[in-house]
Amino acid sequence: MKKLLIAFTLVTLTLSACKKYQGDTTEIHPVKLLIQTSYASNDLAKLLPKAQVKITLKNNKNNNENIYYTKADGTFSLDSISPGNYDISASIEINPADYTKLTGEIVNKNIVFNASEKARTITIKDNQSINLKLLSGPTGPWVIKQIYFAGSNATTGALFRDQFIEIYNNSDSVLYADSLYIAEALGIQNFTSTNIYRQPNSQYDWSKSQGMPSNIDANNDYIYARTLLMIPGSGRQYPVQPGSSIILAQTAINHKSPFTGADGKTISVRDPSLTIDLSGADFEAYYAPFLPRPLASDIDNPSVPNVDVLSYNGTDLVLETSGRMGYVIFKNKGTVDVKNFPRYPFPTVAPPSANTDRYYQVPVSYIIDGVECQTNVANSRVPKKLVTSLDALYTSVPNGIYSSQSVIRKTESIINGRRILKDTNNSAEDFDYLPLAIPRGFK
């Protein structure tokens, strides 16, 4: 079932020339800021409320966060905000009854509208204005619940060997994990790379990739998979009950205990309290058959099924330990085998060679859920890899790499004992963190 998602953030910035001076020196002073929210759809704008849109401003220097709500005209005015770098998001959630009454469209789930502006610089000029365009769609049955990318201490813990991804059945029906795809979304990892085509947001301009068709929106309608894995199964082999999840481990063993690596040597941790037991994982990623020199730690647990590996990066399912990646899950809804999806090289200015790596192009319309992660260090964050239709902002762990922390989706409500996890398509809203990753844990 497709997740109809949100999708786009359009920001306009208007600056006036009002300055304050102390002698001949421009004074650093709080300024006025007007935030305007509006619906991207003109038709919906005539029907839906503009009041009580939730505005979140996060100061990227000190991580202080403030929440405000718009007036009846969809605006909110700040008379005094310190110049700096901010993440700004807008969100409004409308329940099914109200949405149906207002629009005449029958829905059975809350409709969430989001917009965001990442890393917006508020300057010392006064009376600045930001316009956030709200777009929306209902939530889906599967969600990415927990991502343990940080790993544990490099000296006393398990380094990156204990990483995992958890996927949750957020619906009220049994779902089958068979042929569920998990992908890492490829994107630029810095602002300084040369010899590549970039979009205005500094991300790769995939429309310039060699062989890319000219009649598609290569940057907004697709993601490009660095890693692409598939849950195996015959179609109904791996049922997942409502409120339950599946764990995809890099290596499905108890990382608290010593084990024998593929090279015959013992691998152990000095402090087992820093790492986790993944011997009960549902699936594992086993890359050794594809590599001339696999990692010694990449051993195969015969009691845990391996995922099918369509494409991979590196020597194992090693998640970027600082964050800075986008993760998506999807199912094939077309007649084309995913293995036959088009693949394209990086959009380099110089023509790529015949041996250049090429990456699967996955339609955004196929994607059920997407989560953007970033580093906890604001000035080390990179351009977003997922468009706003998949994730308005991002999530991170406060203590960064090798901290044993994971990002985890918040519980929104509990109905008859079943936890419903928050899913507004804005990871800054939907996710918290665990001080120590806990497979199948909750927050």
pLDDT exceeds cutoff 90 at 246: yes
pLDDT of residue 13: 32
Report how far apart, in Å, the C-alpha atoms of 403 and of each of 288, 292, 304, 437 are: 27, 31, 27, 10
Q: Give the gyration radius of the chain's Cα atoms.
A: 23
Per-residue burial over 29-66, b = 16 or more CB atoms within 10 Å of its CB, e = otherwise: eebbbebbbbbbeeebeeebebeebbbbbbbbeeeeee
The structure tokens listed for 142 are 């599967």
pLDDT exceeds cutoff 70 at 18: no
DSSP 361-377: EEEGGGEEEEEEB--SS
Cβ atoms of residues 131 and 405 within 8 Å: no
Give the Cα separation of 67 and 225 in Å (integer). 35
- Residue showing tokens 């996927």: 167
Q: For residue 73, count other CB atoms closer than 10 A to its CB.
A: 11
Element at 95 (helix H, strand E) = none
Strands 13-14 and 128-137, how do they pair?
A: antiparallel
Cβ atoms of residues 233 and 179 within 8 Å: yes
Cβ atoms of residues 363 and 370 within 8 Å: no
Task: Quote the DSSP letter at residue 31.
Answer: E
pLDDT of residue 5: 39
pLDDT of residue 106: 77
Give the Cα separation of 34 and 180 in Å (integer). 43
- Residue showing tokens 């497709």: 2
Give the Cα separation of 415 and 435 in Å (integer). 26
Beta strands (DSSP E) in 61-107 are 65-69, 75-81, 84-94
Give the Cα separation of 84 and 63 in Å (integer). 12
Task: Quote the DSSP letter at residue 9.
Answer: -
Q: Within the chain, how many helices (H) and strands (E) appear?
A: 3, 29
Report the phi/psi class of residue 102: left, alpha or beta, with left for phi > 0 and alpha for psi in -120 to 50: alpha
Q: In which band, very low, low, confident or very high, does the pLDDT at 137 lie, cut at 50, 70 and 90?
A: low
Beta strands (DSSP E) in 241-306 are 245-249, 259-260, 266-267, 283-284
Per-state percent for the chain, helix, strand, coil, to nearest 5: 10, 35, 55
Q: Percent of the chain beyond pLDDT 90? A: 74
Q: Which domains are delineated in the chain?
A: 13-21+31-137 (2.60.40.1120), 142-434 (no CATH)
Give the Cα separation of 61 and 54 in Å (integer). 22
The 10s digit of each residue's pLDDT in 95-115 is 989 988 998 877 777 888 988
Dihedral pair phi/psi, residue 389, rounded to 5°:
-65, -20
Q: Kindly report which listed range (66-75, 102-111, 210-219) carries the lowest average pLDDT score.
A: 102-111
- Residues 6 or more apart in contact with residue 442 via CB below 8 angstroms: 408, 411, 419
pLDDT of residue 82: 92
Give the 3-state secondary structure of residue 207. Answer: helix
Q: In which band, very low, low, confident or very high, does the pLDDT at 27 lie, cut at 50, 70 and 90?
A: low
Strands 239-240 and 266-267, how do they pair?
A: unpaired
pLDDT exceeds cutoff 60 at 268: yes
Mean pLDDT, the chain, integer:
90
Cβ atoms of residues 127 and 16 within 8 Å: yes
CA 299 to chain centre: 29
Dihedral pair phi/psi, residue 439, rounded to 5°:
-55, 130
Dihedral pair phi/psi, residue 101, rounded to 5°:
-65, -40
Give the Cα separation of 5 and 112 in Å (integer). 9
Report the phi/psi class of residue 39: left, alpha or beta, with left for phi > 0 and alpha for psi in -120 to 50: beta
Q: In which band, very low, low, confident or very high, does the pLDDT at 392 lie, cut at 50, 70 and 90?
A: confident
Dihedral pair phi/psi, residue 207, rounded to 5°:
-65, -20
pLDDT exceeds cutoff 70 at 438: yes
Which has more pLDDT, 181 or 9?
181
Cβ atoms of residues 385 and 326 within 8 Å: yes
The 10s digit of each residue's pLDDT in 286-309 is 999 999 999 999 999 999 999 999
Which has more pLDDT, 21 or 39?
39
Task: Quote the DSSP letter at residue 196.
Answer: B
pLDDT exceeds cutoff 80 at 193: no
pLDDT of residue 139: 65
Q: Which of 131, 60, 38, 4 is nearest to 393 (CA)?
A: 60
pLDDT exceeds cutoff 70 at 285: yes
